[in-house]
Structure 1
Amino acid sequence: MTEIASRDSWNILPEPSAIVWFQLPLSLTEGELHKLQQGHIPRVMEDRWFVFHENEWLIFCRSWTGACIYGLHLTPKLDQTAQYKCWASRDIDHYRQADIDSDKAALSETLSFILEYDEGDAAW
């Protein structure tokens, strides 16, 4: 059984005070929502992300540095495409991206990885 990630499952930094807000269109099934709510705990050194769910927010932290980079307000909007409220860090000490389109692409890629991840898989 997969361990459910929590804030205490990994050594992370506080969430950034400098953020930018954006919307991300997603269509999630009930199973996908449940899988995302379990989060993701890195299993190998090459695994890039630690992800946990807390107070309706999915928080994405870099596995090596513990820096919180993204947040996604994970409210149930099942089986329909909906706009999900997100934030991206703009703390230049931990994240130097300044392009919303790049943030959307990276967050979408990470979500896809979590949804496709199997405990037996190697890191991405």
Structure 2
Amino acid sequence: MIEKSAAIGWAVLLGVMSNVPIAAAQGAPQSVTEVRVDVAKIAAGYRASKISGATVYNGNKEKIGTVDDLILGPPEWEPYAVLSVGGLLGVGTHLVTVPLASIQVVEDQFQLPNASKDSLKALPEFTYAK
């Protein structure tokens, strides 16, 4: 047990000395990469809790769907919006996914400028993995 603690201690000391952060996961030293972000820009963005349930409009300001969920999809872990299209009170809705980057924010409205209810309904239906 002393040898493991000593190894972790040396790994942390070497990390501090080399200015490379080190984290120990289950006793094995690992390098941690940190990224600096502009927190003021991030704070001006939209939280997932505010996007979920938001109405999505097209370029003609017609309601074409609602954001049902947000998903990070592998392998690049890009964010996708799951949109609920059609139906009434949740009955008969068609779930589809679109890259979150394709949704624009115009005057505090989420828009898919060139989309329509019909073009979204023509997309493959999305179902959650079990």
Structure with higher Rg: it is 2
> Higher relative contact order at CA 8 Å, sep ≥6: structure 1 or structure 2?
1
Q: TM-score, normalised by structure 1?
A: 0.25
Q: TM-score, normalised by structure 2?
A: 0.25
